Amino acid sequence: MDRTEKQAFVASLAGVFAETSMVVVTQNKGMTVADVTKLRVQMRAAGVTYKVAKNRLANLALEGTKFDGIKPLLKGPTALAWSRDAVAVAKAAIEFAKTNEKFVILGGALGTQTLNADGIKALSELPSLDTLRAGLLGMLNTPATRIAGILQAPGGQIARVLAAFADKDKAETAEAA
């Protein structure tokens, strides 16, 4: 990379750090090309961006961002994974780490909060943003369903009582005849 390419890369990475909510720092020492390809496919499927960046350039891009706390993790062969959905990036990284022992999660940052590998694992165990939204929507719809059921119940009860009286009258008239 020449100087202008490096500057453009640092600027684009700084822009990414300004827009994202979660960054995970990983170490990929000894991974084969097939492993890295599988990792990239898995990350992309989860909506996560995974990029190997020179530590010096990543440090320059982190300057003045909310993810400044991950600078000490950028030593050796590292790569960065990020996404707007914090749980998605943590889940994708943890899932791949379970299947490949050469892929190591060093830590990361959720906003200004720096996390170690255990923090990333704990975050991956949370439900995703879509799951939380669906649960919240379900909780909001439940009271409306219950109110509709309660409002319909008295009318249904009155109809059943009237039907019972009608059946009783029919039975009495049939018996009398």
The backbone region for 164, taken as left when phi is positive above 0, alpha when psi lies in -120 to 50, beta otherwise, is: alpha
Residue 149: the pLDDT is: 65
User: What is the CATH number that goes with domain 3-126?
Assistant: 3.30.70.1730
Per-domain residue ranges for the chain? Answer: 3-126, 129-177
d(CA 70, CA 76): 14
Low-confidence ranges of the chain (pLDDT < 70): 144-159, 161, 177
Two structure tokens written together for 79:
């790569």
Residue 41: the pLDDT is: 92
Residue 177: the pLDDT is: 66
Give Cβ neighbours of residue 79 (< 8 Å, ≥ 6 apart).
25, 26, 27, 28, 50, 51, 52, 53
CB-CB neighbours of 39 under 10 Å:
23
Distance of CA 40 to the CA centre of its chain: 17
